[in-house]
Amino acid sequence: GTTFSHLHMINTGSVSYLAFLVPGIIAQSALFISIFYGIQIIWDRDAGVLAKLMVTPAPASALIAGKSFAAGVRSVAQVIGVLALAFLMRVHLTLNPLRILAAMVIVVLGAAFFACLSMTLAGLVRNRDRLMGIGQAITMPLFFASNALYPVDVMPAWLRTLSTINPLSYEVNALRALLIGTPFNPLDIVVLVIAAALGIATASALLRRLVR
């Protein structure tokens, strides 16, 4: 990031590349935490915990929502860590506590979706090793097919298309708007909320396959 800032190889407008990169690093950290969250639910199944939870009056969606937002809360620690490091490096980011709090909410939403994606895959493959392999296979494509590292303007057309259907891009957009003051687009929030809701619904529908 520092090298690109000095060389001006990537045009990020009026902000330094390092400041441009910080929201992408935050989103990446949250992605890496949440994308393997389905492994925990397979562990719960193997330990017999999941079967006991499934016979309680609580709906499957409550269990999935709880686990997905738990992944989001864990990811908030990454926000704090990355921001602290960025401030130590004198990267120009907002100091507004409300904006930082809103950024944490964005990270929770993004992490919740990717945790649901992981739990959906767990319901499909029902095997820890397979899930680990799939998680490793999709993590980097999700990251690189987003705008976390570079602006959409410099992407080839096919990658730009992938970026527009990647929820991670909308998470990064919202984080940049809050942390470095790029233009805010309400669509970013709408996409994240819808993605999280659809993720919870899909993972909930597949949850019972794990205990069969």
The 10s digit of each residue's pLDDT in 39-59 is 989 998 888 888 888 888 889
Q: Is residue 152 part of a domain?
A: yes
Residue 138 tokens read as 């999709």
First to last CA, the chain: 48
Residue with tokens 């929820």: 167
Is 160 a member of any domain?
yes
- What is the count of structural domains for the chain? 1
Residue pair 24/1 in contact by the 8 Å Cβ criterion: no
Of 40, 35, 54, 72, the residue nearest 204 (C-alpha): 54
DSSP code, position 37: T
pLDDT tens readout for residues 183-205: 999 999 999 999 999 999 999 99
9 within a domain of the structure (yes/no): no
Nearest to 146 by CA among 124, 162, 126, 123: 162
Whether 168 maps to a domain, the answer reads yes
Flag whether 142 is in a domain.
yes
* pLDDT per position as a tens digit, 153-178: 888 899 999 999 999 999 999 999 99
Residue 37 pLDDT greater than 70, yes or no: yes
pTM greater than 0.85 = yes
Q: Which domain holds residue 180?
A: 14-211
Instruction: Give the pair of three-digit tokens for residue 180.
Output: 């470095």
Task: Tell me the C-alpha to C-alpha distance, in Å, between residue 172 and each of 30, 120, 133.
Answer: 11, 23, 25
The reply to whether 4 falls in a domain is: no
Residue 4 has pLDDT above 70, yes or no: no
Which tokens is 35 given?
A: 């994308």
197 lies in a domain?
A: yes
State how far the Cα of 34 lies from the Cα of 38, in Å rounded to an integer.
Answer: 8
76 in any annotated domain: yes
Rounded distance between C-alpha atoms, residue 72 and residue 161, angstroms: 27
